[in-house]
Chain A
Amino acid sequence: MTTLEHLDDWKRKEILTGEQHHTLSGLVRKDRFSVFLELNALLYIGVLSLAAGIAWTVAEHFTQLNDAVIVGSLTLVFAACLYYCFSKALPYSHQSVESPTFVFDYVLYFACLVLATELGYIESRFEFLRDAWDYYLLFTSVVFFLFAYRFDNRFVLSLALSTLAGWFGLKVSRFGFTSTDSLRVSAHIYAGLTAAMGTMLYRSGVKPHFLETYLHVAANAVFIAEVSALSSRSSEWIYFALLVAFSIAAILLGIPYRRFAFVVYGIVYGYIGLSIELLRGVSDTTAVLVYIVVTGIAVVLLISMLARRIGREE
């Protein structure tokens, strides 16, 4: 049976109303074809490209341009974007708010990127804060959080979280497996703060749909820090204990809340960390391969049983 035949059948059985049948049949026949996602993707890439071009132009031509011209024009662009956002914005609500216009979210995102460029330029040229320049990060992070909540913008929230991570000295691109212990401690504090902040705001009913963004960022920060600690060989047992505890927590909390991405984090990071610890000092290839086969099969069987119980729905 085709989809249209199913729809006809459900209409005959009076499961569907005539209007629903008409709407759904139209979708199946592609009488209505949404390009919402494609237009948003074009807009997003366009904003990224525009912001990158501005930053590049400022970086390359600032010697030919006057400081006042650069700062003035960036301020003007930022102010214009903010004016647009404040003039078009719907009243604040704790709940999710639809964007008032098609470009609204992207104008705000662009404003934040321009602000970041401008602050970077000001500090690099005038060095107002000198060694304490990282407080620019804290400032921009706070501004981004305020904008994200006021205008219900997940792009800006993500920017705020990553900027806050910068303030904590956590540079993801350089983090990998070569980070120092102080960075790992920073990562844990950052992850704890992020998770606590997200949960607190969720419980207060303030933009509860933002919670998952907080948790994803926190989970990845903490797991990467712990796995990197275990792989560096200079690790202490505390990282192993933390990794096991967080992995179990991610799995056990991910299942009842049906947030399977966290189950994946728990299993994958947990397995990698556990394997690093157990195989430390084992140089026999056969033993390593046997370990991978036996533990791998055990993981597959456990997940299969889990999938039978809870993960059936797509």
Chain B
Amino acid sequence: MRKYGIDDENKIRVARLVREWTRSGLLDKSQMGRMLPDLNVDFRRTNPFLRMILFGFTLVIIAAVVFLVADIFRIREDHGMAGLSFVSALVCILLAEHLAGEYGLYRFGVEEGAAAASIILAGIAGFVGTSRLHGWQYELPQFVGLLMAAAAGLAVYLRFRFRYAIVASLICLSMAAFETPASEEIQRLASAVILACIFVVVRFKRARQEGELVAEEYGFVQTAAWLGVYVWLNVLLPWGYVSFDRYSTAFHVFSYAMIWILPVLGLGMAIRGKDRWMLDVNLLLALATLATNKTYLGLERHSWDPILLGVLLIGTAVGMRRWLASADRRGFTPLRILSSDERRMSMVATASGMLNPMKAHTANSPDPDKFESGGGRSGGAGATGTF
């Protein structure tokens, strides 16, 4: 099923590690020069920036071609559009196949754009093709569209192993439940259960897997599913507010319990398995739980809540660092080993100027009796506010 040989993909992965180790000073350049020939593969690749542009332009071109065909042949009817979308999806996946096979493109952007377009077009085909059917409920077209997109996403993932394809597939699959006539509680539970089942199956398969590349892939999928379970069970996501009148007390309590249990359980699994994806995602989930806790309990929010949260996070980070540095903790270290960590920090620091933490509670008012730390122009860190 895999388009690319597992040995080749393994070599690419190891070559990436060798380059990272060299940048981190664990190897010297002459050693890298002697190692890389062992890891040569006959694929055409590019760097992430050019890949991103190629991906974006390919998607835009495909969209324009589909609209152009519809325009030239005056396809206006739903069934015609559905047929066109379906045929276009097939053409796109064949194009991705051809580009990957004939030209040896690997994570090059173009073949990825074509494959991603096939997922979108499959979803549109399902949606438009059933838009005249009213046998079930008015949500049927969305339901079918999401299922078709989920199936296409899975197919693309199994063939090319694009991680965003499986993420798209999981999102569409879990969202399909929301297009049924069931109550919102049932919809959320159904979505969470579907993803939880996927998590369990993938985790089980991962535990039996010896190949490190495949284990890594399963690790990513299980984390994506885990994240989805949390998102559907935390009713305050993504907007941070909701009317709890829509839910029964039992569901409210269950949901509240789960938003605490899932991050704790997830962090436990991540630490035991030294699983980076699970660790990072569950830290994020823990933050989401802390941020939504008061609203869940119906407690009043205070201006000092962020101060308490900040102190808690800083205290946790400092405490963890000291604890990890004080003795051997099963190999966990607070020290930087790879230079990629430093590069990521630099990127965050560069982008941090755009963030303006003082902006949260502002309203324009020149009244000196109303101080508003408005954050200043262009993230001026509150120095201007709206005075």
Contacts and interface: CB of A to CB of B under 8 A. Distances in A.
A52 B360 contact: yes
A215 B46 CA distance: 23
Contacts of B345: 37, 40
B314 A46 contact: yes
A113 B310 contact: no
Interface in A48-69: 48-63
Interface string B28-69: 000100110011000011111110111011101100110110
A59 to B, nearest CB: 5
A120 B211 contact: no
Contacts of A173: 356, 359, 378
Given A120-B387, A163-B381, A314 B368 contact: no
Contacts of A123: 385, 387
Contacts of B280: 38
A220 B311 CA distance: 34
Nearest to B283: A38
A112 B381 contact: yes
Contacts of B336: 34, 36
B225 to A, nearest CB: 21
Contact of A103 (B52, B68, B318, B332): B318
Given A59-B372, A170-B377, A162 B331 contact: no
B339 to A, nearest CB: 11
Contact of B110 (A41, A49, A127, A304): A304
Nearest to A2: B212
Contacts of B337: 27, 32, 34, 36
A103 B320 CA distance: 12
Q: Which of B49, B61, B331 has the most CB of A within 10 A?
A: B49
B379 A34 contact: no
A306 B84 CA distance: 33
Interface in A119-140: 119-121, 123-127, 133-134, 136-137, 140
A15 B34 contact: yes
B147 to A, nearest CB: 30
Contacts of A263: 49-50
A140 B324 CA distance: 37
A127 B58 CA distance: 54
A188 to B, nearest CB: 15
A49 B309 contact: yes
Interface string A20-50: 1001101110111111111111111111111
Residues of B contacting A: mostly = helix
The bracket for how many chain B residues form the interface is 35 or more
A286 B74 CA distance: 11
Contacts of B381: 112-113, 116, 140, 144, 159, 162-163
Contact of A58 (B58, B71, B371): B371
Interface string B176-200: 0000000000000000000000000
B384 A33 contact: no
Nearest to A52: B357
Contacts of B377: 137, 165-167, 169-172
A257 to B, nearest CB: 13
B208 interface: no
A125 B387 CA distance: 8
A293 interface: yes
B283 A289 contact: no
A260 interface: yes
Contact of B65 (A285, A293, A300, A313): A293
Contact of B332 (A28, A33, A49, A268): A33
A308 interface: yes
A79 interface: no
A54 B296 CA distance: 24
Contacts of A127: 368, 387
B54 A307 contact: yes
A35 B61 contact: no
A161 B376 CA distance: 12
B312 A46 contact: yes
Nearest to A51: B357
A275 B211 CA distance: 48
A158 interface: yes
B172 interface: no
Contacts of B373: 55-56, 58-59, 116-117, 120-121
Q: Which of B53, B307, B334 has the most CB of A within 10 A?
A: B53
B95 to A, nearest CB: 12
B68 A121 contact: no
Interface string A296-307: 110110011011
A77 to B, nearest CB: 11
Contacts of A30: 274, 331
Given A172-B354, A260-B49, A43 B44 contact: no
B380 A166 contact: yes
Contact of B48 (A112, A153, A217, A314): A314
Given A46-B317, A53-B303, A117 B334 contact: no
A71 to B, nearest CB: 11
Interface in A258-314: 260-261, 263-264, 267-268, 285-286, 289-290, 292-293, 296-297, 299-300, 303-304, 306-308, 311-314
A306 B49 CA distance: 12
A296 B350 contact: no
A106 B56 CA distance: 36
B250 interface: no
Contact of B71 (A56, A217, A289): A289
Nearest to B108: A307
Contacts of A35: 279, 320, 324, 332-334
Interface in B278-308: 279-280, 283, 287, 303-308
Contacts of A116: 358, 373, 376, 380-383
A248 B348 CA distance: 27
Given A121-B371, A137-B383, A312-B46, A300 B334 contact: no
B71 A286 contact: yes
16 contacts: A1-B10, A32-B331, A34-B338, A39-B317, A49-B313, A52-B310, A120-B373, A158-B350, A162-B354, A163-B379, A165-B380, A167-B380, A260-B47, A260-B49, A285-B67, A293-B61
Q: Which 10 residue pairs are nearest across A and B when measured between Cβ atoms? A: A50-B310, A166-B377, A46-B313, A53-B306, A158-B353, A53-B307, A166-B380, A260-B49, A49-B310, A154-B349
